Structure 1
Amino acid sequence: MATINSSQKERTKHVGTLGIVVSKKYTGLGLGKVLMKDLIEWAKQNGLTKKISLVTNETNTVAIELYKKLGFEVEGLLKKDNFINGNYNNSIIMGLLL
C-alpha cells in the first residue's frame, strides 16, 4: 500500500505526506522502490505537490537508505517518538523537494 495525503489548509497543502507499507512476505523484491518512484512521479505531475515528507523509525535502515537513494534528506529527529516491542524508538523526518 502506498499513499500521499495533503492537508486542505492553504499554507500546507503543497506538502504531501507519504505512507508506504510492504508486507514482510514481499520485502526484498523491489516493490517499495517501484511504489516510491510511481508516487514521486505522480506528485511531480499533479500540479499541487511541491514537497513530499515522511516519518520512519530510526531502526528502519533499509527503508532510510532507499529514501536517500530517491533523493530524500533527513530533516529532523523525534526522540522516543514511538513504542515498539517494549522499547522507545526515535523517528526520523525526511523530505524531498520536487
Structure 2
Amino acid sequence: MNGKHYYVYILCNKRNGTLYTGITSNLIKCIWQHKNEAVEGFTKQYGLKCLVHFEQYQDVKEALLREKRIKKWNRQWKINLIEQNNPNWDDLYQKLV
C-alpha cells in the first residue's frame, strides 16, 4: 500500500442544477481549480463550483469503476446519492480546507 487515495466527486452549480461527476487523486487541488475556473471545459462552461458529494478509495480501479457507474446513472439516482449525506447541498469543500 502506498497510502495514495482517489476520490470520486460530484459538483453542481446550484441545488438540483447541473451535475458533474469526476475523479481525482488530489481532491482539494482539483476542487480549487474548478472553483477558480482554472480548468477549461464543461465545469467552467456551466459554473460547476460546489462540491456536494465525494467518496474516497485506495484502489484506483475501484474509483474509476465507481465514477463510470455514477456517470451512467439517471439524474434522480445522483440526486438521491447527494441527499443521503448532504440533504442541504452544502459545499463540502469548506470542510476540507
Per the normalisation by structure 2, the TM-score is 0.28
Compare the two structures and name the one with the higher strand fraction.
Answer: 1
Q: Which has the larger radius of gyration?
A: 1
Compare the two structures and name the one with the higher helix fraction.
Answer: 2
Query: Which protein, 1 or 2, shows the higher relative CO under an 8 Å CA cutoff with sep ≥ 6?
Result: 2
